Structure 1
């Protein structure tokens, strides 16, 4: 095995690349090194596992180790790549206290990202979690259960049994703190409230879900309050304080001190790039690995994909780092095909994302922030409108808020956000498609979108927003 395709990381990008590669080049070997036990799992599903909507932890597995083997992938779990030598074209792998060198013909770095906790002292206390990985999800769900009544199956081969059993012995928390009002914070607020836990959410800025814009953030905030979540906006958490036993006991913040039994820190992630820092592989301005349209790095034969790599933004045409699931899977698949001999672009990104906030659905795409749009050379103008999700006489509809951002001179659609309780999130795909096609607001307004009373009014909320913003541009 002198020229295998070696993949570092066994999650979305890594196993997507390996799977595509084995189908396209079945006569060539592929080795995937994964430092942990879990592979190819749905990270975005973890809040719904904690909530109880997803019953079994293994339901979040996209591809099991057994299925990977059946596809011809040499998957090696508990094998940590600790060094990369691009001159010798080898990686150094640690396993069971020993190391060995593995040559590669092509290399994919798919090392993902890690949760940020550093700015907050006390994040290492017992009972302070990040929702980054299935073991974390299992531990939180165990902590929410009555002692001896945990719904976590510790017989699962991959689960960290000691961690889960530790928290399964705890009395369920009466009050929890969530630090950060982004995707994880909002989703976990719903999960905790489903367990009837008093929930306090702390957000440094003045509105939730910053990437979605103020209109979405304000509506989500009102809805969370209706669901019993106590919001602390414009409130920075300074420290998590533990008791004598080392368990989190309180949150120190700008407005004082709040006693809690458990804390969830969700203030962001950073790309895992340490492996390439002493190599010629270049990093981009974001701190993630710089790649071209095929996922290739600055070193021949070395690729990068997923949460550790940049991609090209569909609006600006410049490198950007937007770590999302589809981006990782799509890039991995493209790289697998390219390495197999059929060059395939990894595709541009538009930052398309959706999130559920109790009964509300939120979506966003492109450039929403005026400062970012201006820095990219645009003259942004925006408008937020409210329109019905269905014909007014048909039951089940809801107010849908749509924000559109366009370039004043060209009329080009730059970004958009949507929030509502009736199929609002899926409407963001219309805007994502329009952005990928470089459409103007005028062209968006003339789209022939479907109409029937159970699904949409004659003028879909997206068309209403385009019509209003187009009038403002005129």
Structure 2
């Protein structure tokens, strides 16, 4: 085989691209380099493994190395791409043993994902302090929270796991109190997971409400849901430092408007830091590649970078925002899989757009579901050139007389001048999150609020009232636009 397609990274974007390319171009070689041992795993499922909702770590794997090999993909694990020479069209790779060599490419896909950004908190070398951004971390946390004589090693049933790290954490005394630093997606999901494992959990978030990108209405409901299950939520409570030498001992809180914790030290014997992530772009240092928002690799509508025959996809790359039309960085699973598949088709000779993004996301806190899409922040909308108008309504999830009906809060944002729907969020306990797909579709179609109000959504008492909560919100917002 000739004209190799080289892929860097063997997770969602990388293997989606390699698999699609292999089907479409069977006569060309495809080589996938992965610097670690893990491939094709469900990052979003890790908190649910820690919670115990998922019995075995292997349940989070989509493909095994053997299955990748059966697809005709040359997968090389524990082989890191450390440099790219776009002029010579080759990459430099280094094996786990330290051996270096070069690999030529005809087309190159950078699908290196992102890594946890612990901010000022260095968790390395501190027992009981973690970030949760890879499977080895999930396995270690799962082992650490278990009683030493009650840990089931078969839960981490994948050969790629760092067994030494797991065994070391399993032998430590089980924690009783945990701090979750950061109240975003990971923070909320980890708080639920640790509470399910019987720990006393504190969540510390520097802003005024949890899940900041979802808006205040969602943050308030999610905070209440966590507190109802015994989780202590501290907002306006930036963490100053992690206290402890060999093992975590406490969280030190900076002075803040939250008098309950401001300036205090809260004793804990476990901490999970989830304050953000950073795209992995180091291998392109010195190439002159254009970067975009979040320092992610800037790409066009086919996933092409500013370097010839070099593509990027997944958590390391930007995508065009469906509302603003500008590059944006919103790392999510569907975005990575979809872009990888499209690039695989393009490289094989079938030009395919990677698709726009709208930041569609969902999260749960016990029985409370929340979701968001588009532009919700008024300042961000104004900066994008819109005149945002926002309304929040509360409506029933089903006909009031039907069992299971629950209050659902819907927030919609529209542009006053055009009436165009810009964004929305939903929170509730009765199938609230999945309703966001209606809004995502409307945003992708550039619909106005008036058009959303006229949508023929399904009505039947077990599923929705006559006026679905989305229709109610659109009706109220449409009235506000006329004022």
Alignment TM-score, normalising by the size of structure 1: 0.98
Say if 2:458 is the partner of 1:456.
no
Aligned length: 472
- Any gaps of 5 or more consecutive residues in structure 1? none
Say if 2:266 is the partner of 1:258.
yes
Report matched runs for 1:34-113 at 5 Å.
34-95=34-95, 96-113=97-114
Asked whether the equivalents of residues 200 and 229 of structure 1 are also in contact (C-alpha less than 8 Å), the reply is yes
Look up the SS of the partner of 1:356 in the other structure. strand
Asked whether the equivalents of residues 394 and 453 of structure 1 are also in contact (C-alpha less than 8 Å), the reply is yes
State the Cα distance separating 1:223 from its structure 2 match.
Answer: 1.3
State the Cα distance separating 1:148 from its structure 2 match.
Answer: 3.3
**Aligned match of 2:334:** 326
Asked whether the equivalents of residues 122 and 239 of structure 1 are also in contact (C-alpha less than 8 Å), the reply is no
**Aligned match of 2:402:** 394
**Aligned match of 2:214:** 212
Q: 1:94 to 1:287 in 2, by over 3 A?
A: same
**Aligned match of 2:344:** 336
Asked whether the equivalents of residues 294 and 343 of structure 1 are also in contact (C-alpha less than 8 Å), the reply is yes
Mapped to 1, the partners of 2:281 and 2:200 lie a distance apart of: 38
Moved runs in structure 1, 4+ residues, more than 4 A? Answer: 121-124
1:200 to 199, 202, 208: 202
Q: 1:124 to 1:382 in 2, by over 3 A?
A: farther
Tell which deviates more after alignment, 391-400 or 155-164: 155-164
**Aligned match of 1:189:** 191
1:370 to 354, 375, 378: 378
Mapped to 2, the partners of 1:66 and 1:122 lie a distance apart of: 34
Mapped to 1, the partners of 2:300 and 2:82 lie a distance apart of: 25
Asked whether the equivalents of residues 375 and 423 of structure 2 are also in contact (C-alpha less than 8 Å), the reply is yes
Tell which deviates more after alignment, 124-133 or 412-421: 124-133
Mapped to 2, the partners of 1:17 and 1:122 lie a distance apart of: 34
Mapped to 2, the partners of 1:458 and 1:400 lie a distance apart of: 14
Report matched runs for 1:232-247 at 5 Å.
232-243=234-245, 246-247=246-247
State the Cα distance separating 1:2 from its structure 2 match.
Answer: 4.5
Q: 1:289 to 1:107 in 2, by over 3 A?
A: same
What do residues 296-335 of structure 1 show as CA deviations (whole Å, max 9, x unaligned)? Answer: 0011100000000000000000000000000000000000
Say if 2:278 is the partner of 1:270.
yes
Say if 2:188 is the partner of 1:180.
no
Asked whether the equivalents of residues 141 and 152 of structure 1 are also in contact (C-alpha less than 8 Å), the reply is no
Asked whether the equivalents of residues 83 and 91 of structure 1 are also in contact (C-alpha less than 8 Å), the reply is yes
2:165 to 146, 158, 163: 163
Alignment TM-score, normalising by the size of structure 2: 0.96
Tell which deviates more after alignment, 251-260 or 261-270: 251-260
What do residues 399-453 of structure 1 show as CA deviations (whole Å, max 9, x unaligned)? Answer: 0000000000100000000000000000000000000000000000000000000
State the Cα distance separating 1:123 from its structure 2 match.
Answer: 5.8
**Aligned match of 1:447:** 455
Mapped to 1, the partners of 2:371 and 2:379 lie a distance apart of: 20
Mapped to 1, the partners of 2:83 and 2:149 lie a distance apart of: 43
Mapped to 2, the partners of 1:371 and 1:72 lie a distance apart of: 49
- Any gaps of 5 or more consecutive residues in structure 2? 255-261
Mapped to 1, the partners of 2:317 and 2:300 lie a distance apart of: 10
Q: 1:259 to 1:360 in 2, by over 3 A?
A: same
State the Cα distance separating 1:151 from its structure 2 match.
Answer: 2.4
